[in-house]
Chain A
Amino acid sequence: MAATAIASELQTRSSQGVPPATLGQPVAELRSATRRYGTTVALDGLNLALYPGEIVALLGPNGAGKTTAVRLLLGLIAPTSGTARVMGRDPRNSETRTGIGAMLQVTRVPETLRVREHIDLFRSYYPTPLPAADIVRAARLEGLENTFFGKLSGGQKQRVLFGLALAGNPGLVFLDEPTVGMDIESRRALWDQIRALAAQGKTVLLTTHYLEEADALASRIVVIGKGKVLAEGTPAEIKHQVSGRRIRCVTALNADFLRSLPSVLTVEQDREAVVITTSNAETVAHELLRNDPTLHGLEISAPGLEDAFLALTASAKPNA
């Protein structure tokens, strides 16, 4: 498939160490990191570099190795082979961690402490913490300072965890599925907060399986599957890996005729309509309208991130 070819080309490019639009040394780096749990391979020679000030989205289906990659960079686990480096140092060293903030998937947080107290405690873990008032503002916790954690709503709890990740005023922030369980409104509010971090020059690594989230936030997307990098690039670059555009219409023309048109790549039936993928949408549309005066419901669209993601992760399967 075309997508596979481009994916492997991109992968070669990244493994040759040509970073896409970057400045200076990487803030954090996984070098051919492999991590096994018994016989399962969670990460398989993964290369990943984060450069100052970028928001990188680690995108992949469940079990792709996203959380394992984050845990390696946080020094919570060690790689079976390969290296994990943060600011050129071992993340298992607590002094390295003074520059890192993390929001992990926590099922329950002690409920008998107030929001203010949780913030105060996490501030004490860092030598030069952010003032508590700044954390409250950045995580939009105004008015909730004296509330016990157990009395907060799901979205508010996520915001406290986000605030705790900022407690040390870190230069590098890991957000593991930060908007899980949030409604659309609070999700969008958190996106603004994440953008604000990058605007302050912080580097953000975000794992998500919401494509929309990666598209809205990331300056670079790394698609992983089965512990390997499948593709890497800006959201636009990833989308372009699915070649051509799509034409959807209701037509009397038969599929064989449609396939015979120049530049048509695929023809699929979708309920009453056909979906044509083509590298030259204008010419094909013109031909369709000329041959079928009854044609209606015409839509022409560029492939979304979702199409690219499905193509990329699907093409990874036969290799496994």
Chain B
Amino acid sequence: MATAIALQPQSLGPRYYARVLAQETRYEFLKMMRAKVFSFSVIGFPVMFYMIFGLTNHHVEYARYLLASYSCFGMFGAALFGLGAGVAMERAQGWLELKQASPMPRFAYLFAKTATCAAIAMITVAILLALGLTLGGVTMTFLEVVELSAITLAGVIPFAALGLLISFVLPPNAGPGMINIIYLPMSFASGMWMPISSLPHWIQKLAVTLPTYHYAQLALNIFGYAQPGTSMAAHWEALIGFSCLLVGAAWLVITRSEAKA
């Protein structure tokens, strides 16, 4: 054999970590994009809804409102289905265990999943922007485009953590069905599909307790569609608070499941 057998444990340097991180992320992205059922639904749903409800009405206000809210909806879906359902499946199938038996650093796995969510959400935002600006009659400054992208991106932290939490808490074979029970009502009640003011009062009251509501409000504010009387600082605080809570809860659940192992 040309190469010596690795009998002694080897130390791992920064070049090793950089390479694992790059490779894991690259293949995670490829794997997800090639899974057509996943990419068609996670990118396809917001895009299709936007074409039906945002563009066919020739109503610029709809096109503006839904551009902001469906960007958030896209990120939420990518996190729940890409990360949540993805990790749950790989756990149930023993694939995650095989990776854990290798020296692969755990953060490389989590980073790759999170970065892939973010990338898929950004693709969704790009398609929505292209449609809105060309066919929807939406006009935006460059700064507003950057702002929408940045706010959408900020959602990756809380919702990736929520996805991870779901993947560890739900029974492994509950699958996408259970995730839909969280995904669809939460999106609806947060004003991602229609203005929150047109929803029943009790839902409006409930919305304040949802991280997705505060997230959507931040994006809607770009076009001045945030609920009157609410402050953006408070929405940011709420989103950051939920982020800390969800990241902490995910961390707790993972370390507990490892301690049990």
- Asked whether A104 lies within 8 Å of B94 as measured between CB atoms, the reply is yes
Q: Give Cα A75–Cα B9 distance, bound, in whole angstroms.
A: 14
Within 8 Å of chain B (Cβ to Cβ): is A95? yes
Interface residue ranges of B100-138 to A (CB < 8 Å)? 100-105
Given the known interface contacts A128-B3, A128-B6, A170-B6, the answer about A112 and B31 at a Cβ–Cβ threshold of 8 Å is yes
Q: Are A131 and B24 in contact (CB under 8 A)?
A: no
Q: Does residue A145 face the partner (Cβ distance < 8 Å to B)?
A: no
CA of A50 to CA of B218, assembled, Å: 60
Shortest beta-carbon distance from A128 to chain B in Å: 6
In the assembled complex, the Cα of A78 lies from the Cα of B258 at a distance in Å of: 9
Within 8 A of A (CB), among B59-99: 89-90, 92-95, 97-99
A99-B7 contact given A107-B94, A200-B1, CB 8 Å threshold = yes
Query: Is A74 positioned at the interface, with any CB of B under 8 Å from its CB?
Result: yes
**Docked CA distance A99–B156 (Å):** 35
Q: A94 in the interface, Cβ–Cβ < 8 Å?
A: yes
User: Are the C-beta atoms of B93 and A94 separated by less than 8 Å?
Assistant: no
A106 adjacent to chain B (CB < 8 Å) = yes
Shortest C-beta distance, B177 to chain A (Å), equals 18
- Measured between beta carbons, the chain B residues less than 8 angstroms from A110 are 31, 90, 95
Contact yes or no, A78 B261, CB < 8 A: yes
Q: Which residues of chain B (1-57) have a CB below 8 Å from chain A?
A: 1-13, 16, 19-20, 23-24, 27, 30-32, 34-35
Whether B3 pairs with A76 at a CB distance below 8 angstroms is: no
A171's contact among B6, B13, B90, by CB below 8 Å, is which? Answer: B6
Knowing A102-B101, A107-B93, A112-B34, the reply to whether A127 touches B8 (Cβ < 8 A) is no
Give bound CA distance, A112 to B36, whole Å: 9
Judging by beta carbons under 8 Å apart, are A95 and B23 in contact? no
Residues in chain A near residue B103, CB distance under 8 A: 94-95, 97-98, 125-127, 168
A: number of interface residues (CB 8 Å) = 51
Q: What residues on A are CB-neighbors of B23 within 8 Å?
A: 120-121, 124
Could you tell me if B97 and A76 are in contact, using CB atoms closer than 8 angstroms?
yes
Contact mask A257-298 → B, CB, 8 Å, 1/0?
Answer: 000000000000000000000000000000000000000000
Cβ of A125: which chain B residues have Cβ within 8 Å of it? 20, 99, 102-104
A220 touches B (CB below 8 Å):
no
Q: List chain A residues, Cβ under 8 A from B98.
A: 102, 104, 106, 161, 164
**Measured between alpha carbons, how far is A197 from B20 in the docked complex, in Å?**
26
- Assuming A112-B30, A125-B104, A127-B12, is B97 touching A98 (CB within 8 A)? no
Q: Are A126 and B9 in contact (CB under 8 A)?
A: no
- CB pair A94–B105 under 8 Å, yes or no, is yes
Complex Cα distance, B101 from A106, in Å, reads: 12
Within 166-186 of A, Cβ neighbours of B (below 8 Å) are at 167-172, 174
Residues 157-208 of A contacting B (Cβ, < 8 Å)? 161, 164, 167-172, 174, 200-202
Q: Is there contact, CB below 8 Å, between B101 and A99?
A: no
Report A-chain residues with C-beta under 8 Å of the C-beta of B97: 76, 104, 106
Is A87 an interface residue, CB under 8 A from the partner? Answer: yes
With A112-B35, A200-B5, A202-B5 in contact, is A97–B95 under 8 Å at CB? no
Measured between beta carbons, the chain A residues less than 8 angstroms from B34 are 112-113
Question: How far is it, in angstroms, between the C-alpha of A174 and the C-alpha of B102 when the chains are bound?
Answer: 11
Q: Does A22 touch B at the CB level, under 8 Å?
A: no
Chain B residues within 8 Å of A77, by CB: 261
Partner pick for B94 among A105, A113, A128, CB 8 A cutoff: A105
Residue ID in chain B nearest A77 by CB atoms: B261
Q: Is A56 an interface residue when CB atoms closer than 8 A count as contact?
A: no
**A96 close to B (CB within 8 Å):** yes
Q: How far is the CA of A66 from the CA of B38 in the complex (A)?
A: 37
Q: Which chain A residue has the least Cβ–Cβ distance from B99?
A: A125
Other than the given A108-B93, A113-B34, A117-B30, 18 more pairs (CB < 8 A) read A76-B261, A94-B104, A94-B105, A95-B12, A95-B103, A96-B9, A104-B97, A105-B94, A108-B94, A120-B23, A120-B27, A121-B27, A124-B20, A125-B99, A134-B2, A164-B98, A169-B6, A174-B101
A-B contact pairs, 28 of them (CB 8 A): A27-B7, A74-B101, A77-B261, A87-B7, A87-B8, A94-B12, A94-B104, A94-B105, A98-B9, A98-B12, A99-B6, A99-B8, A104-B94, A104-B97, A106-B93, A109-B93, A113-B31, A113-B34, A121-B23, A125-B102, A125-B103, A126-B102, A127-B13, A134-B3, A168-B102, A169-B3, A171-B7, A172-B7
In the A-B complex, the 5 residue pairs with the closest CB atoms = A171-B7, A112-B34, A124-B23, A108-B93, A106-B94
